Structure 1
Amino acid sequence: MSLKGHFELLSNYNQWMNSKVYEAAAHLTAIDLAKDRGAFFSSILGTLNHIVVGDTIWLKRFATHPSCLNSLREVADLRNPTSLDELVFEDLGSLSEHRIWLDREIIKWISELSESDLDFVLSYHNTKGIPAKKRYSSLVLHFFNHQTHHRGQVSTLLSQAGVDIGVTDLLTQIPEETHV
């Protein structure tokens, strides 16, 4: 499978997992979602917002790639998050609607990338203003890893709250091979 093929797999996995996580979270009350559970971003709602914040920051950076000006145009127009723990949406319904839209944008963006786009070296500044120049493909991999990392935290928080989200393995999304 090509590098782009792997990223397409990850973008679809991302959408599938977010759907499962938000469906599971919908079983909790607003109070339970906002309850401080001692996580890095306090609550289930706080952690889900952090994933959206991280995605927004990275997608806005990715949008500066010359071939992504069109595919990420709407994301580039989003307001810049003010902090990594910003509550972009204070209710699960609005956050979920935005997540669904964002996941579609991610899938569209990845589908429009070429293998050669992935070799690009992206110049950007991190949230502390420190400049960096890194290979686009490595940053895309980080982007998906960041989502998985924090969704794992949400999965644990949901489990502790008595909600099971079911199977979460990427393995379930990897297609069977018909030839060797």
Structure 2
Amino acid sequence: MISADYCRLMARYNSWQNTSLVTAADGLTHAERWKDRGAFFQSIAATLNHLYWADALILARLKGNERPEETITHSLTSPSDWDAFKSLRLQRNTEIEAWAAGLRDAELDGMLVWYPGDGATRVERPKANCAVELFNHQTHHRGQVHAMLTAAGAKPEPTDLSRLP
């Protein structure tokens, strides 16, 4: 279905796009980043926080943590400090790239098991699908942020994969 090379490419794309959005959002005020813009998670900042925490959860599952929600708490409001968010986002990008760099094709075979939320329900999905979900989920929400930034007058970079430096 997919390969380790695909994951490495998408990890690079993820870092590039996150940098583009963060750089564009740097030109906005704190209030503008948190303004309700009618998106699913309301604001630019809340959507970026959702991506940050969802990346952590999905990546933890891909690394074999069956109960990531015991140590990772999803939050739309944290971090609230923009400089802290930027630092944490950069660390998460690096973590995703490091995971992809060390990945072998064979590690995408088989099933992944985890227990979300209350820990009572066992979820089992193909590992390759979970890796695709990591990158597809990022692209979906970054598209929302890109639209909100553009509407706010900011200028994020194009999103075309063919433009990846």
TM-score normalised by structure 1 residue count:
0.82
Q: Is the 8 A contact 2:47 2:76 kept in 1?
A: no
Matches within 5 A, 1:79-158: 80-83=71-74, 85-127=75-117, 129=119, 130-158=121-149
Q: Distance in 2 between matches of 1:26 and 1:107?
A: 23
State TM-score, norm by structure 2. 0.89
Give matches, 1:52-91, under 5 Å: 52-64=52-64, 80-83=71-74, 85-91=75-81
Displacement after TM superposition at 1:82 (Å): 3.5
> 2 CA distance for matches of 1:87 and 1:80?
17
Distance 1:77 1:120 in 2: 19
> How far apart are residue 127 of structure 1 and its match?
3.4
Distance between the aligned counterparts of 1:52 and 1:17, measured in 2?
A: 13
Give the counterpart of 2:158 among 142, 147, 167: 167
Ranked by relative contact order (alpha carbons within 8 Å, sequence separation 6 or more), the top structure is 2
Deviations 1:79-123 (A, max 9, x none): 83444x532200221111001011111111111111110003111
Query: What residue identity is the alignment partner of 2:161?
Result: L
Query: How far 1:78 moved relative to its partner?
Result: 9.8
SS at match of 2:128: helix
2:48 partner SS = helix
Question: How far did 1:128 drift?
Answer: 5.9
2:68/2:116 contact within 8 Å kept: no
What residue ranges of structure 1 are gaps of 5+ in the alignment?
66-75, 175-180
Cα deviation, residue 77, structure 1: 9.2
Q: CA deviation at 1:40?
A: 0.9
**Displacement of 1:27 after TM fit?**
0.3
Corresponding residue for residue 15 of structure 1? 15
Q: Contact conserved, 1:57 with 1:80, CA < 8 A, in 2? A: no
SS in structure 2 of the partner of residue 123 of structure 1: strand
CA RMSD, aligned part only?
A: 2.2
Same amino acid, percent of matched pairs? 33
Instruction: Show structure 2 runs of 5+ residues with no match.
Output: none
Which stretch has the larger CA shift, 121-130 or 41-50?
121-130
